[in-house]
Amino acid sequence: QAAVVACNTASAVALDVVEEISQLKNSFPVFGVIEAGSRAVLKGQGKRIVILGTQGTVRSQAYLQMLKKLGTTKPIAQKACPLFVPLVEENMLHGPATEWIVNHYLKDFILEGDDVVLGCTHYPFLRDVLEKQFPQASFYDAGAALKELGSFGANDSEKNKIHFLFSDDSVSSMSLSDLLLKCGILDVEWSQLRL
């Protein structure tokens, strides 16, 4: 078993707490997306690294600290894009409004040759629009990069069950289940955290 803190903001501000609980219970490894995204973008050839994230992720400086810990000397720029999340949650992945919002945040910010971390699990859903508007930049999905951090206990003879814990009920588990089915994830358990 392993725990994945798949939210960049949660990884930025609470990964150490989850790791501490795991160590106390001596039960499972814990992975977060900040290190995964940082390691992925360091494989890029760009002269500058750009982090796109929520206000919480950017404010935490977690990516900046991790990238420096991993030894980068490249300049790093960060930008919070808070309207990207509701765009994705409203399934507005394309169209004039989405293009306008992307342009509003990132025109003259993303430069030719930048290596850009999509530092929120929602942001990769806007990748088509981002690549269309900034074709000379390279984009890295922090969530997708998790698979390179380590083994999550999978093997060919074993079927893994995924247990999702979520704190926001603005999107129903039914909608999320539909999305996961499209991704080929069939065996899911749901629990809502009451905060």
* Cα distance between residue 194 and residue 57, in whole Å: 22
Residue 90 one-letter amino acid: E
Catalytic residues: 7, 120
The SS3 call for residue 86 is helix
Distance CA 9, CA 34 (A): 9
SS3 string, 8-68, reads HHHHHHHHHHHHHHHHHHCCCCEEEHHHHHHHHHCCCCCCCEEEEECHHHHHHCHHHHHHH
| Entry field: residues in the chain | 195
At 79, give phi and psi (nearest 5°).
Answer: -145, 125
